[in-house]
Amino acid sequence: LSLLDKVTDVNGKLVKDYEPKVKNQIEGVSSSTWDAVQSGMRRVVTSTSYTFGSLGNFELSGKTGTAQQSTTHPNHGLFVGFGPSSDPEIAFAIRIANGYNSTYPSEVGRDIIRYYYNLDEKDEIVTGHASSLGSVVSGD
């Protein structure tokens, strides 16, 4: 995970370049297990076209989830993802505290990809107001 690639000034001149360093690696997981996890994460996205249909042919993989804090608080909504699935360049994890379910975090993840890869006009993605739960965007 690299949080910062480089820092530039307002003119685009490089101020500092950050080189990623491998701190540790996961070992002992079979390739069939990795394949099953990645295949499942891809199916999460392809099976919910009402949320991810606006990505077109972009291959996103992800996992939704909720975490219960207590019976008196709404669940926390979660979505983690990476893409493109076959050759990942970006990964993210989104948590909305007390967000009830994973719909909003999934939509945020979708819109991060739409914005980052210029899959839609920026003013269609960043509107300055919240959308309705489970809202669809053009193309969904």
Grade residue 133 by pLDDT with cuts at 50, 70 and 90.
low
pTM given for the model: 0.76
* Residue 126, amino acid: V
What is the chain's mean pLDDT, rounded?
A: 88
Residue scoring higher pLDDT (67 or 53): 67
**CATH, domain 6-125, list 3.60.110.10, 3.40.50.300, 3.40.710.10, 1.10.645.10:** 3.40.710.10
Identity of residue 107: E
Tokens of 7: 């820092």
Residue among 130, 131, 125 nearest 55 (CA): 125
Distance CA 90, CA 92 (A): 7
pLDDT score, position 118:
92
Q: What letter does residue 23 receive in the DSSP assignment?
A: -
- CA–CA gap between residue 14 and residue 31 (Å, rounded): 39
- What's the confidence (pLDDT) of residue 34? 93
What is the distance between the alpha carbons of residues 98 and 84, in angstroms, rounded to a whole number? 29
DSSP 114: H
| pLDDT, position 2 | 65
What CA–CA distance (Å, rounded) separates 52 from 62? 11
- pLDDT of residue 127 exceeding 90, the answer is no
In the chain, domain spans:
6-125
HSE, CB side, 13 Å, CA atoms: give it for residue 139: 15
Mean predicted confidence (pLDDT) in 42-69: 92
**Overall average pLDDT of the 40-60 stretch:** 91
Answer whether 91's CB lies under 8 Å from 63's CB.
no
